Structure 1
Amino acid sequence: MIASLPMYDRPETRAATDQLWHLVREELGYGPKTLSRRQDPWADWQSPELMLSQTCGLPYRTRLRGRVALVGTPDFALEGCPPGYYHSILVVRRDAQGARLADFTAQRFAYNDPASQSGWAAPAAYAKAQGLRITDPIQTGGHAASARAVAEGRADIAAIDAQSWRLMQRHDAFAARLRVLCKTWPTPGLPCITAIAHDRAPIRTALRRAIAALDDEARSALCLHALIDIPEAAYLAVPTPAAPAAAQRANGHISG
């Protein structure tokens, strides 16, 4: 079996993430001893041996639906969001001129991946609703890389999911060189999943109990409060914009 919790797994949170997994495993009485930490999570997400992982809403609705089952959505108690929901934070350099998204849509836009809800789909939909369009996208491969690109002047604006931004403010010195321009609307957060053939009920129960059993240090490190049941329909209702132009030329479709 395979287990992974890749979405907010960084050096400063690794011990807490491992604690969470060990508690899940103790509750279930089975499962791999350690988490998979592959560079590319798609191999885990698409494996029939997947016991537990965390993905993003966009990959779920475009590629994983029907191959995985929703276990539940972690709640990080993000300001302005219902339980289990999140939004994107659009950041620019602290000294950048401009106070509206319209001031930046023609500038260099750093995004992590065309299959990211928070890094691409949410800001693209948010811009479209205002009659705007992102015209100069630059793919970076990760939220931290996108934020760093803006801080270092290699891009002008980036969309970072709110939990990633919270962790960057805690742990990354470059975050002090950035300011929040605006926030997108809340959408369902990053769901935990299991392979479609598995019984998700005991995994959901184990994960819920494990979250409740985290010690104070691990809970603070992860900002993790609860597991929320968000229906599949809520994920499928989120609009999926076209992939960035560069990704369309390279792939022909949204991919990981």
Structure 2
Amino acid sequence: MSDFVAALPMYEWPEMRDEVDGQWARLRDAFRQKGIDAPATIARLNRDLPSVPGGIRDATGKLIAPDPATLPPDELDFHGLWLHPALLLAQTCWGPMELGLAPHVQLIGQPRYDAFEGGQGELYSSALVMRAGEAPAVGSPSDGSPLIPLDILRGKHFAFNSLDSMSGIIALTRDLEALGESLDIFSERSESGGHRASIVAIADGKADVAAIDCQSWAKARRFEPAAEAVTVVGWTRRRKGLPFITARTTPEKIVVALREAVAALA
């Protein structure tokens, strides 16, 4: 049994469990070919993570996350996963990375987003979505530049998945600032808890607009009925997508092998 843990929770909707398992199987097999003792399956809940008595600590001994065994077993604390000393591989978001996660992990690589409108190579963008019929639908700019319809967005209720999300709020904030504007153009802002929940809130009339990363928007069009009532009215600038990371303490030899394997599968 492997001493490592791995997880791919960022794009795992219930309908995609088998696809995510398949993605991990390809990564796992590539890692094992490099001599890495990758776990057979991915962690999905706090109870799947090894206990860390006394909590997770940084290089100086400072407590940075609780022992997973003390957390609700049927939930998944993302920061506890990302900071876990046994982490072999997981995906995170550049929002948390910029907000303090980066010093505690090692970067492995980036997936590709060519399969999704709004994506190109390791870059992705967010679709700005509203209820269908309230504004003209637009495609993603071919050059990856932002397409922010200020007059349409002004005065609307903005829903976002979480405050540390690059795709859900930080990217749009930066694109607005580049235009001399801010999130204050919205009459109201509310945290939905997830991209899917934001789409549902818009379809239900509980919010007016949200920024949904292009891969999540593609998933919504496949699996979420509420997406049929929503359309794309703008796009954020293309930025780096969700990075793969490993623990700060993962040995350099394994880090090099992980990077080679991920790059080969990209």
1:104 to 153, 160, 163: 153
1:101-152, Cα deviation, whole Å (9 max, x unpaired): 3332322100000000000101111222223332321001100001111111
- Which of 20, 24, 39 is equivalent to 1:32? 39
Alpha-carbon spacing, 1:66–1:97, altered in 2? closer, same or farther (3 Å): closer
Partner of 2:175: 126
Offset of 1:170 from its aligned partner? 1.3
Say which SS state the counterpart of residue 146 (structure 1) adopts.
helix
**Which residues in structure 2 correspond to 1:12-161 (within 5 Å)?**
12-29=15-32, 30-38=37-45, 39-77=76-114, 78-79=116-117, 81-96=119-134, 100-135=149-184, 136-161=188-213
The whole-number CA distance in structure 2 between the counterparts of 1:86 and 1:181 is 17
Moved more, 13-22 or 85-94: 13-22
Asked whether the 8 Å contact 1:120–1:159 carries over to 2, the reply is yes
Question: d(CA) in 2 for partners of 1:149 and 1:80?
Answer: 22
> Match of 2:144?
none
Paired residue secondary structure (2:111): strand
C-alpha distance in structure 2 between counterparts of 1:59 and 1:112, whole Å: 13
One-letter amino acid of the structure 1 residue matched with residue 22 of structure 2: Q
Which runs of 5 or more structure 2 residues have no equivalent in the other structure? 46-75, 138-148
On the 8 A contact 1:101/1:181 being kept in 2, the answer is no
The CA distance in 2 between the partners of 1:56 and 1:11, in whole Å, is 20
Counting aligned pairs with the same residue, the percent is 36
Q: Which amino acid aligns with 1:104?
A: L
TM-score normalised to structure 1 length? 0.77
Letter in 2 for 1:184: T
Counterpart residue identity of residue 206, structure 1: A
Matched residue type, 2:15: E
Q: Distance in 2 between matches of 1:138 and 1:40?
A: 21
RMSD: 1.8
Deviations 1:153-181 (A, max 9, x none): 00010010011001111111111101111
Q: Which has the larger radius of gyration?
A: 2
If asked which structure has higher relative contact order (CA below 8 Å, sep 6+), I would say: 1
Does the Cα contact within 8 Å between 2:93 and 2:241 map onto a contact in 1?
yes
After the TM superposition, which of the residue ranges 191-200 and 18-27 deviates more from structure 2? 18-27
Name the CA distance, whole Å, in 1 between partners of 2:229 and 2:201.
Answer: 11
Q: SS in structure 1 opposite 2:237?
A: coil
SS in 1 for 2:226: helix
